[in-house]
Amino acid sequence: TFLLAMTFTSCLKDDKYALDPSEGINVIEFLNVTAPVTGYNDPYVVYVPTTLEVVPEAEFTIGINYAGPVDLAPQDITVQLSEAPEAITDNNTKTGSSFVHPASSTFEFPSSVVIKKGEKTALVTVKVKPTQLNPTVSNAIGLKITSTSLGEISGNVGKVIYSIPIKSIWLGTYNY
C-alpha cells in the first residue's frame, strides 16, 4: 500500500500534464445570456432568449464573450457577425428539429461588435418584427461570428441558433 501511495503522489508533482495558461489561446464566442436548451452533443447551441408578443417590433439581447487564459481583453476587439441560415438547415438535418430561418427583413442586428479593452463581454440587441413572422412555424435565427481582430473564433460556440417562439393568441386563463 505504501508503494502504491507513493506512485500516485509522485504524479501530482509532475507538471508534464498540467495546463499552462501561457500556452493557451483566447477564443471569441457567443455568451450564454440565457441557458442553452440543447444537449451537450448537439451540433449547435440553441437559446430561447424570449417568447415574442405579436407586436410590430420586439428586442432581445445576445452577448459576445472573450474566453480563455487571458481573463480580460488586452485591447478593443472588433467582432464581425452575420446570419447563419446554414446552421438551421444543418441542425434540422442532424437533430430532426424543424426550425425555420425567417427572412432577413424580419430581424436586424449589428454586423460589428466591440469588446472593450479591460472587459470580457459585449452585449448586443437584436430587433425582431414578430408581426412579419409566420406564427405557425418554429422561427429561429442562426448567427455566426465571421471574424475577430484578436483571438480565434470558437469551434463550439462560434455559430448559434436563437429560437424565437411567438406567443399564441389563445394563451391565457379561461373561466368556464
pLDDT in tens, 79-98: 999 999 999 999 999 999 99
User: b/e for 123-133, b at 16 or more Cβ within 10 A?
Assistant: ebebebbbeeb
What's the distance, CA 7 to chain centroid?
43
β-pairing, 99-100 with 138-148? parallel
HEC profile of 101-161: CCCHHHEECCCEEEECCCCCEEEEEEEECHHHCCCCCEEEEEEEEEEECCCEECCCCCEEE
Q: How confident is the model at residue 75 (pLDDT cuts 50, 70, 90)?
A: very high
- Could you give the CA distance from residue 142 to residue 99 in angstroms, rounded to a whole number? 10
Name the phi and psi angles at 105, rounded to 5: -75, -10
User: Could you tell me the end-to-end alpha-carbon distance of the chain, in angstroms, rounded to an integer?
Assistant: 74
Distance between CA atoms of residues 106 and 131, nearest Å: 9
Lowest-confidence pick of 22-31, 102-111, 134-143:
22-31
What pLDDT sits at residue 96?
95
User: Can you say how many angstroms the Cα of residue 135 is from the centroid of all Cα atoms in its chain?
Assistant: 24
Report the candidate in 43, 54, 62 with the shortest Cα–Cα distance to residue 141.
62
Beta bridge partners of 115: 77
pTM for the structure as a whole: 0.84
pLDDT in tens, 42-67: 999 999 999 999 999 999 999 999 99
| pLDDT reported for residue 24 | 82
Name the grid cell of 92: 434540422
